[in-house]
Amino acid sequence: MLPVIWQGIVTGCLYSLGALGLVMIFKSSRMVNFAHGALAGLGAFLVYALTAGGASWPWTAAVAVALAASILVSVLVYFVIAPLLECSDTTATIATLGIGMVAQGIILWQFGSNIFRLDLPLPNVSASIFGLSVTLYDVTVLLVTLAVVGVLFLVIDRTRLGISFRAASTDPFAGRVCGLSITRVHLFSWIISAILGVIAALLIVPTTFLSSTTVTTFMLQAFAAAVIGGFDSLPGSAIGGILVGVGCNLFSFYVAPELLNSFLLVFILFSLSCFPGGILSKRMGSRV
């Protein structure tokens, strides 16, 4: 059972990263970015094109370029979405579906529907710890997730922009009255979300390979993690990711892997029934 839980934790870390990207945008602008997976996939494809796909750039340079490009794309997308966001959150959310399709179309146009291999530049090392096989990839995923989540929480907790983000997400109207630039806060969340997306995509493709659909499919599980976390709680979505990873692995191992999607839906329903505001929500009372 221990290896199953371990693998679940490693996969769960990736779901957490994906979920954090979705929650960042939701917290700041009350909309769900359904293009998150496709845009992250676009970043991963850029890394592939610059490394294994032919250009043979150093890995770090390729990742830096992909991150810069993803930030640029996310800023552009935000400026396309912003006018719609003023109409309604739902309109903007639906528009992200279209943007996701465009991103997927660009991938298909440039790379076709083939499947590609994109490995992290890591030596193939593994060790047995208490009968558990632990690879360098597993450790990397854990460390990168911890580092990214740590930095993210520090930025949100300690920096001026982070405090603005918290203020605007708690009460946008009050934030605006106090002189906060909502556009700046929105851009901050879109850029952080893009960075989280590319990191998650680069960490997941060594196990799933890279195609026009793999990152989008992976983000569906991340979406479930965000829902379990309450969708507006960053710590909740991080824990939700681990719960989804471990839960899915245990279910696949002991029950039936082909029913995994059904399990995920039941898991979401159960979780929302028990914790309507997410797993970390405080019980709220109301006066009559």
Partner 1 sequence: MVKQGAWGSLVPKSPVDEGIAGQGRRKFLGVAAAVMAGLMSVSGTAQAENLPGIDVANKEVRVGAFAPITGPVPFYATINHAADAFFRDLNERGGIQGWKVKYIVRDDGYDPAQSLAVTRRLVEDDDIFALVASNGTATNVAVIPYTRSKNLPVIAPSGGSPKIIAQPHMFPLLPDYALSSAASAQYALDVLKKQKIALIWENDELGRRAKFGLELFLKSRDLAPTVDVSFDVATTDLSAQIQRVAASDAEVVLLFGSNAHLASALRAAERISWKGEWFAPFFTADPSTYELTGKLLDGVYFSSWLLPVDSDREQIAAYRDVVPKYYPNDRLGVFGLNGWSAASLFVLAFDKLISSGQALTYENMIAVMNTLDGVSAGAADKVTFEKGDHRGTRQEAMIRAENGKFIVAQDFRPYPEVVFKTVAK
> Which residues of the shown chain bind partner 1 in the complex (CB under 8 A)?
3-4, 7, 11, 112-117, 124, 126, 128, 133, 135, 137-138, 206-209, 211, 213-214, 217-218, 248-249, 252-253, 257-258, 260-261
- In the complex, minimum distance from the CB of residue 260 to partner 1, in angstroms, rounded to a whole number: 8
- In the complex, minimum distance from the CB of residue 109 to partner 1, in angstroms, rounded to a whole number: 12
Place of tokens 């396309």: 80
Beta strands (DSSP E) in the chain are 126-129, 132-135
283 to 55, 75, 224, 278, 280: CA distances (angstroms): 54, 37, 22, 10, 9
Q: Give 75 or 256: the residue with its C-beta nearer to partner 1.
A: 256
**Surface-to-core class of residue 77, CB atoms within 10 Å of its CB (0-12 exposed, 13-18 middle, 19+ buried):** buried
Please choose, from the candidates 116, 109, 99, 96, the residue with its C-alpha nearest in 3D space to the C-alpha of residue 47.
116
- In the complex, minimum distance from the CB of residue 186 to partner 1, in angstroms, rounded to a whole number: 32
- In the complex, minimum distance from the CB of residue 169 to partner 1, in angstroms, rounded to a whole number: 33
Q: Give 188 or 218: the residue with its C-beta nearer to partner 1.
A: 218
- In the complex, minimum distance from the CB of residue 279 to partner 1, in angstroms, rounded to a whole number: 23
Assigned token pair, 237: 């979505």
- In the complex, minimum distance from the CB of residue 283 to partner 1, in angstroms, rounded to a whole number: 35
Q: Give 86 or 258: the residue with its C-beta nearer to partner 1.
A: 258
Q: Is the CB of residue 218 less than 8 Å from the CB of residue 206? A: no
Give residue 213's Cα distance to chain centre: 15
Please choose, from the candidates 257, 269, 28, 273, the residue with its C-alpha nearest in 3D space to the C-alpha of residue 161.
28
Give residue 284's Cα distance to chain centre: 28
272 to 27, 136, 228, 264, 278: CA distances (angstroms): 18, 36, 7, 12, 7
Q: Give 215 or 234: the residue with its C-beta nearer to partner 1.
A: 215
Please choose, from the candidates 270, 220, 216, 254, the residue with its C-alpha nearest in 3D space to the C-alpha of residue 105.
216
Q: Give 169 or 249: the residue with its C-beta nearer to partner 1.
A: 249
- In the complex, minimum distance from the CB of residue 14 to partner 1, in angstroms, rounded to a whole number: 10
Q: Give 38 or 168: the residue with its C-beta nearer to partner 1.
A: 38
Q: What sign results for the dihedral spanned by CA atoms 31, 36, 37, 38?
A: positive
- In the complex, minimum distance from the CB of residue 96 to partner 1, in angstroms, rounded to a whole number: 22
Q: Give 117 or 184: the residue with its C-beta nearer to partner 1.
A: 117
Q: Give 78 or 267: the residue with its C-beta nearer to partner 1.
A: 267
